[in-house]
């Protein structure tokens, strides 16, 4: 993207953020905890958190599944959209990330139950499928992009018609435009986009998202 346009689009994002996403103690504390613990700053942006929150409210979500917890920033946004008797299950590979998230989420004293499960997401998803829990209302994919296609197939087994499946980072700064991306995460995001575009059980679209660089969030509705 041309520098001047990039500058403009970042100013537009900041403008939207100033209007709709005021600074909030629990969210600021969450990011401070993550930074102090040395976690990478790859959480969703504030405007994207707000979008996740609104989408959860729009579908009246009570049960949400998140794949990729990091320090629990997106978890905090989503949890605030759920009723007090809601449930948010969030999957994280790294015990250290899960521990930082656990502390921050406890401190934020969120109303719905939050269940952090540590381990490779594909295994945790298979455990959830085996335990025949009720379907989720919203599923947010945000772990390794190389696993997105597999996570989608498993997520569909935890869905019902009307479940919303969202995935972060599906544009990868435009690297998905490459006919065959070298990086496994870029290739994984590109493969995911092609699967959701043609999947018989999904109706989908990708929204470009402004962050430090341009990225995207996919929205898929289960038929």
The site for ligand DHB (CB under 6 A) is made up of 42, 68, 142, 168-169
Helix boundaries (H) for 109-223 = 121-130, 148-156, 184-198
Minimal distance, residue 169 CB to ligand DHB, in Å: 5
Q: What is the DSSP string of 19-50?
A: HH----HHHHHHHHHHHHTT--S-SPPHHHHH
Residue 185 is a binding residue for ligand SAH (CB under 6 A): no
Residue 215 is a binding residue for Mg ion (CB under 5 A): no
Distance CA 3, CA 9 (A): 10
Nearer to ligand SAH, 70 or 110 (CB): 70
- The residues facing 166 across adjacent strands are 140, 219
Interface pick for ligand SAH out of 21, 33, 43, 163 (rule CB under 6 A): 43
Question: How many alpha carbons fall within 13 Å on the CB side of residue 97?
Answer: 24
Site residues (CB under 6 A) for ligand SAH, limited to 130-169: 142-144, 147
In sequence order, the 6+-apart residues with CB closer than 8 A to the CB of 203 are 220, 221, 223
Residue 105 is a binding residue for ligand SAH (CB under 6 A): no
Interface pick for Mg ion out of 142, 151, 159, 163 (rule CB under 5 A): 142
Distance CA 13, CA 19 (A): 10
Nearer to ligand SAH, 101 or 196 (CB): 101
Interface pick for ligand SAH out of 13, 92, 137, 186 (rule CB under 6 A): 92
Minimal distance, residue 63 CB to Mg ion, in Å: 21
Handedness of CA 9, 13, 14, 18 (dihedral sign): positive
Residue 172 is a binding residue for ligand SAH (CB under 6 A): no
Chain residues in the site for ligand SAH (CB under 6 A): 42-44, 68-70, 73-74, 91-94, 97, 120-121, 142-144, 147
């Amino acid at each position: 993207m041309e520098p001047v346009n990039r500058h403009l689009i970042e100013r537009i994002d900041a403008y939207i953020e100033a209007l709709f996403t005021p600074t909030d103690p629990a969210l600021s504390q969450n990011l401070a905890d993550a930074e102090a613990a040395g976690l990478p700053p790859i959480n969703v942006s504030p405007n994207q958190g707000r979008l996740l929150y609104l989408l959860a409210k729009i579908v009246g979500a009570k049960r949400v599944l998140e794949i990729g917890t990091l320090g629990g920033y997106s978890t905090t946004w989503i949890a605030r959209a759920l009723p007090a008797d809601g449930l948010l299950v969030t999957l994280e590979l790294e015990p250290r990330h899960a521990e930082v998230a656990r502390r921050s989420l406890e401190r934020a004293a969120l109303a719905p139950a939050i269940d952090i499960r540590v381990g490779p997401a594909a295994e945790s998803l298979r455990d959830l499928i085996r335990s025949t829990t009720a379907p989720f209302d919203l599923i947010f994919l945000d772990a390794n992009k190389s696993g997105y296609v597999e996570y989608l197939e498993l997520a569909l087994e935890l869905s019902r018609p009307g479940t919303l499946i969202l995935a972060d980072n599906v544009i990868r700064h435009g690297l998905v435009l490459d006919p065959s991306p070298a990086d496994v995460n870029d290739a994984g995001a590109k493969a995911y986009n092609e699967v959701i575009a043609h999947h018989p059980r999904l109706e989908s679209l990708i929204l470009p998202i402004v962050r430090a660089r341009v990225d995207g969030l996919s929205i898929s509705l289960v038929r």
